[in-house]
Amino acid sequence: MTDQPIDALTEEQAANEAADLRPQLLKWGQQYYDADAPAVEDDVYDRVYARLVALETAFPAIVTPDSPTQRVGGSTRGDLPKVTHDIPMLSLGDVFSIDELKEFDERLRSNVEDDFDYNCELKIDGLAISLRYENGEFVQGSTRGNGQIGEDITANLKTIKSIPQTLSRPLTIDVRGECYMPKAAFLALNERREAAGKAPFANPRNAAAGSLRQLDTQVTADRQLATFMYNIADYGPLNTRTQSGLLDELAELGFTTNATYQVAHNMDDVAAYIDQYQAQRSDLPYGIDGIVIKANSLPLQRSIGATVKVPRWAIAYKFPPEEVETVVRDIKWTVGRTGIVTPTAVMDPVALAGSTVARASLHNPDYLEAKDIRLGDTVLLHKAGDIIPEISQYITAKRPADAQPYPVPTHCPSCGAELVHLDEEVALRCINPRCPAQLAEGMNHFASRNAMNIAGLGPQIVSQLFDRKLVDDVASLYRLTTDQLLTLDKFGEKSAQNLLTAIDNSRNNSLERLLFGLGIRHVGAKAARSIAAEFGDIDHLMAADSEQISAIDTVGEIIADSVVTYFASDQVQQLIAELREVGVNLTFTGAVPASDGEGQFAGQRVVLTGKLQELTRPEATEWLEQHGATVTGSVSKKTDLLIAGEAAGSKLTKAQSLNVPIWNEAQLQAAMDETK
Ligand code: IVH
C-alpha cells in the first residue's frame, strides 16, 4: 500500500494500486472468516481496506464487481448447516479519527431534513450472532457468515447462560448481537491450555470463535461465553421506536444488553463518550475495539437505509492500536519444567492498555534472531488481543551505535549444564534432570489445580523454598515444618499453618492427581485418570509393561512407553519410595479429578504438511476436525499446531521460525490412540 495522497493519483495509478490491494484483502478476509485465523492484525486490514475504499470512492470507474468492498465478506465453513438470513446481517463502515466521524455526521445530516440524535454504544470485540425466536421460544442461532448465509450454531448457543430460551413476551423476532469471551475467562482458559501442554489462543475473539464451532457442546458450555444483544432484524413487533429504547426493551425481554449506551445530541457528546470509554477500555471485563454510533430513531434508520454491505445510519469509530515505546534493558533466559529455555525481554516498565508492562516473551532463539532485539534498543510494544505483551519491532534510528546481536546461551542459566536442540526443535533445552529451575517448575506443576491442588503453593514460594534449600524434590514438601515456613518472606503463623494444611490434605488425593502432577512426558490429566483407574495403585502400574498400559482404550503407545521409561529410572523409584514414606496416597480412590474442560483440539488451527505414512491427508483432516480443529492450508503466527510428515518443506521452516508447535505423525497417532 502506498501512502500517496489520492488526489495526486491518475486513474490508472489508482486502478493499479486497487488491483494490488484487492487480492491481498480477499486473502486476509478469507483467512479471517473461514479459518478464524487472521494473518494480519485487524488494524492493518482496516487500513488497507480504508485505502481501497478511498481509491474507489475517488475513482468510481475502477470498482470491480469482485472487489472486497462489494461483498459483506467471508463465507461459511462447509461442516456446519447453513442458515439464510432473511434480512441480511450487515457489517459497519469504519472511521479512525474524530474528523472522519464528523464527515460522516455532516454527510448524514445533509441528507436528513430534521435534527436527530445518535445512540453511542461500545463496539464489543466478539462475533456477530443472530438469534431467532418464534412465539417467544429460542429456535435457531447462527453466525453472520457472509451476511446472507451463516452457520447454524443453535446447539452451541443454547449452552450460553445469557441467551434466554423463552422471552417474557411471545414474540417472533430475529435478534442480533455479539458473542464474546470475557477477559477473565480467556486468561483462565489459556492457563488451563498451557498447563495441559496446549497452544494458547491468540486473543479472546479467536477463543470465542473456536468455542462456538465446537462439535461437542459441553466444550462450548465450559468456555464461559457471554453475549450482548444490540439489534433486531425488523423492529415491527417491538413497542419502542428508538435504538436506546430497543436496548431497554431487549433487556426486558430477557436478553443481556450492554448498559453503557448513551444518547448523543451532537458530535461533542459523541467525542465525550469516546474519550470516556477509551480511557476505561482496559478496566472493562470484556474487549472492545471501538465505539459504534447509530441514528437513534428506528424509523429514521429504515428511511436512511443501507448499502449492500453497511448501514448508512451507523458507523464504527475504531480505537487506534495502543503501542508504546520502551527500552530493552536485559534479556533473561528462563528454564521451564521440561527444560525449555525461553528468552524474555526485560524493559523499562511502561503503562500499556491498563497494566504496567516490563516483560515480553521472545519465545526462542530463532524468534530473537529474527526480531534482532538488542540491549538498549528502543522498541514498540503492544498487547496482542489486548492482553499479551508483544514487541512489534525495534526503532532503527534509536539503536545505540555499539549494540550487538544478543548472544544465545550455550549453558543452562540455572544449573550450568550444556544446552541442546533436540531433533529439529527450535527450542533450546537443558536436559539435566536435577536442574533446580526445572525442579522448581516441576513443583509448580505438582501443586497446580488439576494436579495435587495445593492452594497457596505458588511460584514465588516454590522459588524461595528451593533458594533456601528447604526442598529438593516434591517428596520433601511433605517434610516441611512451621518453623521452616516462618523463614519465608511475609510468612506468619497463619500463612504457614494454612500452607502446611494444604500440603497435608494433598496426601489423600487419588492416584491420578499424583500421576499427572509428576509431569511424566505425554501424560495429561485424562490419560493419568485412565491409567490410575486401570491399575488401581502405583505398584501395579510400576510392574506393568508398555503393552499392558497401551491396552487401555484411551492410552496410546507413546504415552505407555513414556510411563514405562519414567518408572524405570532409579531416581524416580527413589522419589516414589520417599512419597510413600511421607504418607502420600498411592492408590486410586475413584475421585473424579477436576477436568480441564477441553475437547482435544478445541478451537485450534492446525496445518498438515509433508507426506504421512500411515494415514491419508483426508483421514487426518477428518479426524482433526471431528476433534475440534480447524485445518487450514497455510502457516501463520495464528497457527496452533503444524503436523509434519516426511519431506516437509517451507511450511515446516515457517512454523519453526514462528515458534508454532510441531508434531510428527507418531504424535498425531498417539493423540488419536488416546481418544479411541
Ligand atoms: S451494529 C446493522 N453494534 O462490529 C447493524 N455492531 O465491524 C450492524 N459490533 O458485525 C452492527 N459491537 O459484529 C453493532 N454495539 C454494536 C457492536 C457491533 C460490536 C460488531 C458486529 C459487526 C461489527 C462490524
What tens digit of pLDDT does each residue of 120-147 get? 999 999 999 999 999 999 999 999 988 9
277 and 161 within one domain? yes
- What is the dihedral sign for C-alpha 483, 489, 493, 497? negative
330 and 283 within one domain? no
**134 has which bridge partners?**
137
What is residue 166's predicted lDDT score, i.e. its pLDDT? 96
Cell numbers representing residue 123 in the block: 463496539
**Other beta carbons within 10 Å of 548:** 15
CA of 447 to the centre of ligand 1 (A): 43
609: left (phi over 0), alpha (psi -120 to 50) or beta: beta
Residue to mutate, 42, 49, 92, ligand 1, most ligand atoms under 8 Å from C-beta: 92
Q: Residue 648: pLDDT above 70?
A: yes
Q: What is the CA radius of gyration of the chain?
A: 28
Point out the ligand 1 atom lying closest to the alpha carbon of residue 90.
Answer: 2
The per-residue DSSP string of 334-361 comes to EE-TTSEEEEEEEEEEEEETTEEEEEEE
Q: Residue 74: pLDDT above 60?
A: no
271 and 144 within one domain? yes
The most confident of 188-192, 200-204, 331-335, by mean pLDDT = 331-335
Distance CA 242, CA 270 (A): 17
Any atom of ligand 1 within 6 Å of the Cβ of 178: yes
Nearest one of 192, 69, 262 to 594, comparing CA atoms = 192
384 and 291 within one domain? no
247 and 205 within one domain? yes
CATH number at residue 103: 3.30.470.30
Distance CA 557, CA 544 (A): 13
| Report field, pTM of the whole predicted structure over 0.75 | no
Tally of residues, the chain: 676
70-95 mean pLDDT: 73
State how beta strands 419-420 and 428-430 pair.
Answer: antiparallel
Any atom of ligand 1 within 6 Å of the Cβ of 292: yes
183 catalytic, yes or no?
Answer: no
Confidence band for 38, pLDDT divided at 50, 70 and 90: low
Residue type, 348: D
Residue ending a domain, among 261, 291, 318, is 318
What does residue 380 show for φ and ψ, rounded to 5 degrees?
A: -95, 130
* Residue 628 counted as domain residue: yes
Confidence band for 540, pLDDT divided at 50, 70 and 90: very high
* Residue 212 counted as domain residue: yes
483 and 541 within one domain? yes
**Helices marked H in 409-556:** 436-447, 459-467, 482-486, 493-506, 511-517, 525-535, 538-543, 546-550
CATH number at residue 57: 1.10.287.610
* Residue 75 counted as domain residue: no
583-598 mean pLDDT: 65
Confidence band for 518, pLDDT divided at 50, 70 and 90: very high
pLDDT one-digit tens code per residue, 12-21: 888 888 888 8
- Say if CB 291 and CB 95 are below 8 A apart: no
Q: Residue 360: pLDDT above 50?
A: yes
Point out the ligand 1 atom lying closest to the alpha carbon of residue 144.
Answer: 10
- Say if CB 438 and CB 342 are below 8 A apart: no
Residue ending a domain, among 300, 318, 336, is 318
DSSP type of residue 306: B
Cell numbers representing residue 119 in the block: 445512540
The domain total for the chain is 5
CATH number at residue 362: 2.40.50.140
The per-residue DSSP string of 545-564 comes to -HHHHHTSTT--HHHHHHHH
* Residue 591 counted as domain residue: no
Q: Residue 545: pLDDT above 80?
A: yes
Mean residue pLDDT of the chain comes to: 87
pLDDT one-digit tens code per residue, 429-468: 898 878 999 999 999 999 988 899 999 999 999 999 999 9
SS3 430: strand
List 82, 102, 123, 637, catalytic entry? 123
What is residue 195's predicted lDDT score, i.e. its pLDDT? 61
Residue nearest to atom 18 of ligand 1 (CA): 123
pLDDT one-digit tens code per residue, 387-425: 678 899 999 999 999 999 999 999 999 999 999 987 767
328 and 314 within one domain? no
Residue to mutate, 96, 123, 180, 284, ligand 1, most ligand atoms under 8 Å from C-beta: 123
Q: Residue 386: pLDDT above 80?
A: no
Distance CA 676, CA 673 (A): 5
- Say if CB 317 and CB 273 are below 8 A apart: no
**127 has which bridge partners?**
179
Cell numbers representing residue 8 in the block: 495526486
What is residue 531's predicted lDDT score, i.e. its pLDDT? 95
What is residue 29's predicted lDDT score, i.e. its pLDDT? 67
DSSP type of residue 166: B
Nearest one of 214, 224, 217 to 630, comparing CA atoms = 214
Distance CA 235, CA 48 (A): 35
Distance CA 205, CA 36 (A): 9
Residue nearest to atom 7 of ligand 1 (CA): 92
Domain that holds residue 546: 436-581
Confidence band for 197, pLDDT divided at 50, 70 and 90: low
Confidence band for 219, pLDDT divided at 50, 70 and 90: confident
- Say if CB 607 and CB 651 are below 8 A apart: yes
The better pLDDT of the pair 110, 637 is held by: 110
